Amino acid sequence: MPPIRLTEKDIILESITDGVFTVNLDWRITSFNRAAETITGVTRDEAIGQICSYVFRSTLCGSDCLLRKTMLSGEPLSNRGGYLLRGDGSRVPISVSTALLREADGTVIGGVEIFRDLSTVETLRRKITGSYTFSDIISRNHRMREIFSILPAIAQSPSTVLVEGESGTGKELVCRAIHTLSPRRNRPFVAINCGALPDTLLESELFGYKRGAFTDARTDKPGKFAAAEGGTILLDEIGDVSPALQIRLLRLLQERVYEPLGGTETVAADVRVLAATNRDIDELVHEGTMRSDLYYRLNVVRLNIPPLRDRKEDIPLLTQHFIERFNRLHGRDIQGISDDAMACLIAHDYPGNIRELENALEHAFVLCGGALILPTHLPEQIGRINGRPSHDTRLTMREIEKIAIEEAIRRNGGNKSAAARELAIGRSTLERKVKEYDIETIAPIAPE
């Protein structure tokens, strides 16, 4: 028997790592590449001529068969997530794309299905997620990792901590982590937003009041400091507190006592105070709206939480975290997010920070009817890049990786060893990828 001559197309199909098979109009498999054999555990000889559902057994078969939907509608489908069931009973996470198979004259003769084994991605995700979480904080950013490294020591001390950062960056999570790691962990953690209440109401909420202190004060009511006794209190948005109330807070920090509104006796406060603000606290002191003596009492330990636009390497981790969370909340089984949708998320600047990313993914859950979040499921301001719909950009994961490496090298002033540490990869791996992506001559960020 003469050897089979492979066409250029056959050679390409045999060399790619994605599984590919084609079916005729009777749903019988007509081709089955090498990667399809590897992923399914079924040989080409066993697959050819069989009904595709006998060979390719997945959660996307039956009524959810993507290839059938494409054959009926004529529309291709891409990057739909699901699981493949192998002969040994194991489940393999996969993403599936489908399209029509046509003759040169346009006649439909069948369909083609392309599927990708996501096992390595899933394993890596679990490894990364486990390595880059601290309490409920998720990050692989070098600045956040530095904060992670000092939080245990900060938690063990009784000192006041001032946490700065834009709204939505996770300041309260950092404060909760400090409390959880501290000797006060078994006592209450109480948070109050100082910017959400008028001054007189905030004072009574913080310190409580005695019966008859004002018209509606019919009984004594303990305040937040009393509720946090023995534990920790977070004064969120401390920059919005009026100068008059700042005096009472200063006394509490200095003498560890306070008086409830309308009371005459002082109350001892065994409470650790944490403060957070999204405002420039130094500028507030300069303007005179923040008392300098209170500032010095608050500014014993100071942490600055970077905005999401400066830690975009965290977006894939946070995205997977929120997908898992919303799956539990909504009883869904969304498997992940397409490359294009991830490119949209990474391209956005997030003025609302992590809270905005969370809201965007919850929005996507409402619109997503399949197993994979696509750009069209994202809010319009995120699902577009440079004013165009994301499907016009077609950024691949390789391109996203290249961008991440370039930004890490720039952030570290051209120091590749520091960039490799930030990216949590070896120096040799970074050198190989720098050469692969031809970014050896990248210029560092110019100093401001």
Q: What is the CATH number of the domain that holds 56?
A: 3.30.450.20
Beta-carbon contacts of 280 under 8 Å, excluding residues fewer than 6 positions away, are: none
User: pLDDT-derived band of residue 24, with 50, 70 and 90 as boundaries?
Assistant: very high
Same domain for 146 and 255, yes or no, is yes
pLDDT interval class at 6 (50, 70, 90): very low
- Is the confidence at residue 109, as pLDDT, over 80? yes
Lowest mean pLDDT among 96-100, 131-135, 350-354: 131-135
Residue of higher predicted confidence among 88 and 442? 88
268 and 235 Cβ atoms separated by less than 8 Å: no
pLDDT number for residue 339: 78
Which residues have CB under 8 Å from 429's CB, separation 6+? 420
Same domain, yes or no: 61 and 154: no
| In a domain? residue 447 | no
Confidence grade of residue 195 (pLDDT, cut at 50, 70, 90): confident
Mean predicted confidence (pLDDT) in 178-185: 92
Cα-Cα end-to-end distance for the chain: 72
Split at pLDDT 50, 70, 90, the class of 386 is very low
d(Cα 317, Cα 341) in Å, to the nearest integer? 14
| Kind and range of the H or E run holding 107 | none
Residue 445 inside a domain? The answer is no
Domain membership of residue 2 (yes or no) is no
Q: Tell me whether residue 90 is in a domain.
A: yes
Residues 219 and 187 in one domain: yes
Q: Which of 64, 119, 72, 70 is nearest to 97 (CA)?
A: 70
Mean pLDDT comparison of 73-77, 205-209, 218-222, 273-277, highest-scoring range: 273-277
- Mean pLDDT along residues 13-26: 86
State residue 401 phi and psi, 5-degree precision.
Answer: -65, -40
- 357/412 same-domain check: no
- Amino acid, res. 441: T
Contacts 24+ apart (CB under 8 A), 62-66: 66/96, 66/98, 66/113
Q: Which of 441, 425, 424, 427 is nearest to 140 (CA)?
A: 424
Position 30 scores a pLDDT of: 93
Asked if residue 256 and residue 179 are part of one domain, the reply reads: yes
Residue 384: which residues within 8 A CB-CB, separation 6 or more?
344, 390
Same domain, 255 and 158: yes
pLDDT at 264: 75
Residue 37 is assigned to a structural domain of this protein: yes
d(CA 277, CA 404): 30
**φ/ψ bin of 111: left (φ > 0), alpha (ψ from -120 to 50), beta (otherwise):** beta
Query: Cβ(92)–Cβ(59) under 8 Å?
Result: no
The residue from 84, 117, 150 where one domain ends is 117
pLDDT digits (tens, 9 = 90+) for 352-369: 999 999 999 999 999 988
Same domain, 173 and 279: yes
User: How many Å apart are CA 123 and CA 128, to the nearest integer?
Assistant: 9
Task: State yes or no: pLDDT of 253 exceeds 60.
Answer: yes
Of 82, 117, 152, the position where a domain reaches its end is 117
Helix axes 416-423 and 397-411, enclosed angle (nearest 10): 130
Interval 131-155 mean pLDDT: 82
Give the separation between CA 243 and CA 152, rounded to whole angstroms: 33
Q: Is the pLDDT of residue 56 over 80?
A: yes
List, in order, residues 6 or more apart from 49 with CB less than 8 Å away. 28, 29
Q: Treating both helix axes as pointing N-terminal to C-terminal, what angle do 397-411 and 427-436 enclose, rounded to 10 degrees?
A: 120
Total count of domains within the chain: 4
The pLDDT of residue 190: 94
- Please name the amino acid found at residue 330: H
Give the domain extent around 351: 123-128+309-395
From residue 182, alpha-carbon distances to 150, 151, 273, 302, 317 in Å are 13, 10, 13, 17, 27
| Average pLDDT score, the chain | 83
Question: CA 112, CA 31: separation in Å to the nearest integer?
Answer: 9
Residue 135 domain-assigned?
no
Task: Using DSSP bridges, classify how beta strands 336-337 and 372-373 pair: parallel, antiparallel or unpaired.
Answer: parallel
Other C-beta atoms within 10 Å of 44: how many? 14
Q: Considering the domain boundaries, does residue 133 fall inside one?
A: no
Radius of gyration of the chain (CA): 29
Cα separation, 276 vs 108, whole angstroms: 63
